[in-house]
Amino acid sequence: MKRAGTLRLLSDLSDFSGAARLRELLAGDPAVRVRWSPDGRHLLLLRHPGAPAPQLLVAARGPGAELERAWLPGHPPPLDAFFLPGPARPALVLVWGSGLAEVWGAGVGPGWRLLQSTELCPSGGARVVAVAAPRGRLVWCEECQAGVEGRLGPPAAAFSHRVCVRALEPSGEAVPTLGRTHILLHHCPGFGLLASRRDLFLVPTATTWPGVAHILLVWSPGKGKVMVSAPNLGLVHSKSLNPGRGDTWDFRILLRGLPGLLAPKQPLTVHTWAPTPQGLLLLDFRGTVSLVHSHGGTRPVGTLHEAPVGPQGSAALGTFHGTLACVLGSTLELLDMGSGLLLERKVLSTDRVHLLEPPAPGLEDEEELEARGGLRLLSAVGLFRVGWEAPQGFELPSAEDLVFEEACGYYQRRSLRGTQLTPEELRQNSIFRAPQALASILQGHLPPSALLTTLRVELRDYRALEQLKAQLVAGDDEEAGWTELAELEVARLLRTELIGDQLTQLNTIFQALPTAAWSATHRALQLQPDGDGRLRSQAPPDVWKKVLGGTAAGKESPGGVLPPFELLCQCLCRLEPRWLPPFVELAQQQGGPGWGAGGPGLPLYRRALAVLGEEGARPEALELELLLSSGRPKAMLQAVGQLVQKEQWERALEAGLALGPSSPLLRSEIFKLLLSEFARHRRLDSHLPLLCRLCPPDLAPAELLLLLRTHLPDEGGPPTPFPEPGAEPTLTVGLLRALLEQTRAQGRPSGPVLSLYEDILWDPGTPPPTPPRGPMTTLQAADHPGLEAWAPSGQGFCVTDKSNHL
């Protein structure tokens, strides 16, 4: 069973003084303006100029006399009238377009009496065009004539208004009087003024200059701030505006200091404005209702079933219990302010209906306390309360119950089963996971205060960013401002999903201000150098995931937009090239399933190399460092090959030695590459100790000798005991001794001799005798078929064999 919207009669107006006149004016004048006193005891009706007498009627509820005023045709009626709360009883303020203001009070006895008469524009030459009364203050917008500010041309005439305020101040009377005047805004367009209990809304009118007709202002006297909002642009800016401290603003200067507000935009097309405790309601000509909050933000509320019939059609808006009430003609529509759904629609017996604000807190009588939470509706028939009523014992279902009830209807429409689904079945059946997931989310839904605490840091950063943008537009300290703006914007973008426009914006910032952009990235990744020339990072994986994400291998970036990792590599190459290899090495240590080092596509070192340019056009030193720091076998072998070509033997050996025990195959390949160079020439002889350290521990002497034999250079002529002058010295057994001893580091193996040379290597006996130093005699080939010559060597014996054996 659902709750129902009800209209409950609170009064048939017979308990008001002058009830007959009150009913007559409500029924006969659809344009009459109605005001409700803060204590709920007085009704004010003000008729437009030209209406028959009386033009003003104040009716009292209960004991008390009414106040009727009429003005002759030569004396126009007041522009507007308000009730202002006082310490004992409210005051009535009447304001004329000429600037005359009268304060009336209801005394202890019957009747009303004039307490104060003052001129709002004492200098003369000004005309009041709008007036409002927020929180015990009187605010008006006056148009300054040519005599006040000189002759004004058409452009200047559009900004010839100013907004002023006067507060109620204590006096000897029971009702306070108006204090001195403070100017809030000058050189501004003509604004309409609407007041809620806490805020004042300055809205554009039909005569507002089109260039600023899309802007409205929200002044919060309690906070001393004014919010400048452009609902169609989604922009909000905050400025200080406290009359007690002497704050005042030139409207033109105010807008010039707020970026984006003067962008070309269509003026606001609003049929009806309505201030409420939640903010300002806007009804446009399409029937859409929006809400402007006191912080300047705008959100849509819902769309009415019927749209207003032209500009002259009557409409009234109000809120209660999270419900929007709208009266269009004789139709009352109730919409949920959270979802915008139409809850109920009623047809009234009259189209001359007024929605009244509830009394101020603390001033309600017993009847008002009983009717609290509803909205008051006034017509010639009486005073009604609009509210929700439910049958006795009815309890509103929880959000979780509503989810399962709605899911029942949805799944039932799609189901082919004949049985009826129930909420309990959805709760217990694991097949229907969507409603269960949504219900679990609603169970853990955070209240607004908790959400605000969670978002406080981001909101503070966003506010600082907007303030900095305004500072840049004003031209203050541009260089430092642009740097700070870039840092803040990069930090913000790194918290978003870097795709589309966000990625394009990040590229633009890195191109325009690379130093500031890298500084912000450095802080976001929490990069710190260690003592070994490497980088460390304490950033969470989510940040690295955004940085290392990018396009798949082989795909070109659209419009030259680089992924974040390539963008950082390009920036580092321009600013600090020496930190590029450590950064890539650190990036390769990050990653997870599907992203970073563990993701598909090109390895990170190849993505970094692609940023440096085409192969052959890259900086050789930087390319070599990237290959060495990659940790990839193919890249390491490529780097060692480049070092060998440059004859940087020590660095090539150190690159192999830097590999840990987890890369035995790669170490072995690097050793074989360098061993081949050792067999071909003698330029590695001075680095033989490092080569011995690189020798694989499982390499047997026979394998070592076979590897050497493979890479020995071919002899072009008959062997000679000594190399020719200028020729490359040949490899000797003395040079091999250190390598051969390295292969037996694990001790002499047991068992039979494994190769032809092992008995020589492991023989503990004395070496052969030294040949005589007399003339050498040629040995006969028949006695030694494979041996041609013996020749002394400085490092042992050199044996020359026809078959190239050692």
Q: What is the rounded CA–CA span in Å between residue 300 and residue 282?
A: 9
* Final residue in a domain of this structure, among 594, 613, 632: 613
Q: Please tell me the predicted confidence (pLDDT) of residue 783.
A: 47
Report which of 122, 140, 138 is spatially closest to residue 130, judged by C-alpha positions.
Answer: 140
Same domain flag for 425 and 314 = no
Tell me the per-residue pLDDT of 15-24, one tens digit each, with 9 for 90 and over: 888 888 889 9
Give the CA-trace dihedral at 265, 269, 273, 279, to 10 degrees.
Answer: -30
Same domain flag for 560 and 482 = yes
- Alpha carbon 484 to chain centroid, angstroms: 17
Q: Which residue carries 């589309």 as its tokens?
A: 500
Tell me the per-residue pLDDT of 153-210, one tens digit each, with 9 for 90 and over: 556 678 889 999 998 777 655 556 788 889 999 999 999 999 988 899 999 998 888 8
Q: Does residue 742 lie within any of the structural domains?
A: no
Q: What is the rounded CA–CA span in Å between residue 62 and residue 614?
A: 93
Q: Please tell me the predicted confidence (pLDDT) of residue 174.
A: 56
Q: Which DSSP string corresponds to 78-147?
A: PSEEEEE--SSS-EEEEE-TTSEEEEEEE-SSSSEEEEEEEES-TTSSEEEEEEE--TTEEEEEEEEPHH
Q: Is the pLDDT of residue 790 over 50?
A: no
Q: Please tell me the predicted confidence (pLDDT) of residue 2.
A: 56
Q: Please tell me the predicted confidence (pLDDT) of residue 598.
A: 57
Q: Does residue 759 lie within any of the structural domains?
A: no
Same domain flag for 245 and 329 = no
Q: Please tell me the predicted confidence (pLDDT) of residue 45.
A: 92
Please report, in angstroms and rounded to a whole number, the separation of the first and last CA atoms in the chain: 105
Q: Provide, rounded to the nearest whole percent, the portion of the chain with pLDDT above 90.
A: 13
Number of domains in the chain: 4
Q: Please tell me the predicted confidence (pLDDT) of residue 4.
A: 67
Tell me the per-residue pLDDT of 618-643, one tens digit each, with 9 for 90 and over: 777 888 888 888 878 888 888 888 88
Q: Is the pLDDT of residue 787 over 50?
A: no
Tell me the per-residue pLDDT of 298-318, one tens digit each, with 9 for 90 and over: 999 999 988 887 777 788 999
Give the Cβ contact number of residue 451 at 10 Å.
Answer: 11
Q: Is the pLDDT of residue 515 over 80?
A: yes
Q: Does residue 11 lie within any of the structural domains?
A: no
Tell me the per-residue pLDDT of 757-786, one tens digit each, with 9 for 90 and over: 555 544 555 566 777 676 655 444 444 444
Same domain flag for 258 and 326 = no
Same domain flag for 460 and 578 = yes
Same domain flag for 457 and 432 = no
Q: Does residue 477 lie within any of the structural domains?
A: yes
Q: Please tell me the predicted confidence (pLDDT) of residue 797.
A: 40
Same domain flag for 309 and 163 = no
Which domain, by its residues, includes 184? 124-269
Q: Please tell me the predicted confidence (pLDDT) of residue 795.
A: 41
Q: Tell me the average pLDDT of the chain.
A: 79
Contact 589, 631 (CB under 8 A): no
Q: Please tell me the predicted confidence (pLDDT) of residue 393.
A: 57
Q: Please tell me the predicted confidence (pLDDT) of residue 794.
A: 40
Tell me the per-residue pLDDT of 727-754, one tens digit each, with 9 for 90 and over: 666 776 767 777 887 776 544 444 444 4
pLDDT category of residue 724 using cuts at 50, 70 and 90 = low
- Average pLDDT estimate for 252-265: 81
The pairing of beta strand 161-169 with beta strand 137-144: antiparallel
- Average pLDDT estimate for 635-662: 82
Q: Does residue 356 lie within any of the structural domains?
A: yes
- Residue 29's identity, in one-letter code, is D
Residue predicted with more confidence, 247 or 555: 247
pLDDT category of residue 94 using cuts at 50, 70 and 90 = very high
